[in-house]
Homo-oligomer: A and B are copies of this chain.
């Protein structure tokens, strides 16, 4: 049975979402990171963290100058928003024909206003998709995040082959470029070259005429998996 849920503000939903994502990516979160990700000042983040930790039930565990983590309640909200975001991205792409570089921003706005009914129907229409257009897993109806055993493209050695699994979703220009060179989820690639100092990698992308040349700021955020 769906729990009787309070309605939290857009701001709080975005904070919880980004905290979840930062924790998932690197295991820890700093005030500064949150501030940069949300494009607000660190002072604002401190204020919001204090507020969210004072909520009943608390949404975050906060020890000043030390750690930030999510309470079960906060995690739940984060996962709900992430589920909506990713479902909406898929929906925009499949049902409305949005290109993959445009879905993120639109979903970022819609994720805060759609009802449970909307979410349910979108999931139905799409047939409960497992991934968003950038390859990120969509939390299930029960808010379980599917495990994805993948590693950064930057860790592949020369001659190694793999499948692209997930690409960063916020940078529209990057997405346009990645699409052009065929570095999209599901693509099969082989590392043709990697320079040891600057980390630039040259990839053969199956089915593409040209090779893809990517710097480390990209390859560290593109994830691959060995098996299909």
Copies of this chain in the oligomer: 2
How far apart are the CA atoms of A117 and B92 in the complex, in Å?
A: 11
Query: CA separation between A79 and B117, bound complex, in Å?
Result: 27
A177 to chain B, nearest CB (A): 21
Say yes or no: A96 contacts B122, CB within 8 Å.
yes
In the complex, 9 of the A-B residue pairs with CB atoms within 8 angstroms, ordered by the A residue number, are: A95-B125, A96-B122, A96-B125, A97-B121, A98-B117, A106-B115, A106-B117, A112-B113, A113-B113
Residue of B nearest to A111 (CB): B113
The one of B95, B97, B105, B118 that contacts A106, using a Cβ cutoff of 8 Å? B118
- Say if the beta carbon of A37 comes within 8 Å of chain B: no
Q: Which residues of chain B have C-beta atoms less than 8 A from A110's C-beta?
A: 110, 113-114
Asked if A158 is at the interface of the complex by the 8 Å CB criterion, the answer is no
Q: How far is the CB of A133 from chain B (nearest CB, A)?
A: 15
Residue of B nearest to A125 (CB): B96
Inter-chain CA distance A106–B114, complex, in Å, is: 7
In the assembled complex, the CB of A17 is this many whole angstroms from the nearest CB of chain B, namely 16
User: CB of A220 within 8 A of chain B?
Assistant: no
CB–CB A113/B109 < 8 A:
yes
Contact of A96 among B92, B112, B118 (CB under 8 A): B118
How many angstroms from the CA of A166 to the CA of B102 in the assembled complex?
36
Chain B residues lying within 8 Å of A125, measured Cβ to Cβ, are 95-97
Interface mask (A117-128 → B, CB under 8 Å = 1, otherwise 0): 110011001000
Provide the bound-state CA to CA distance between A16 and B110, in Å.
Answer: 22
Q: Which residue of B lies closest to A122 (CB)?
A: B96
Contacts of A121 in B (CB 8 A): 96-98
The winner among A96, A106, A122 for most chain B CB atoms within 10 A is A96
**Docked complex: A113-145 residues within 8 A CB-CB of B:** 113-115, 117-118, 121-122, 125
Distance between Cα atoms of A184 and B113 in the complex (Å): 28
A123 to chain B, nearest CB (A): 11
Residues of B within 8 A of A109 (CB): 113-115
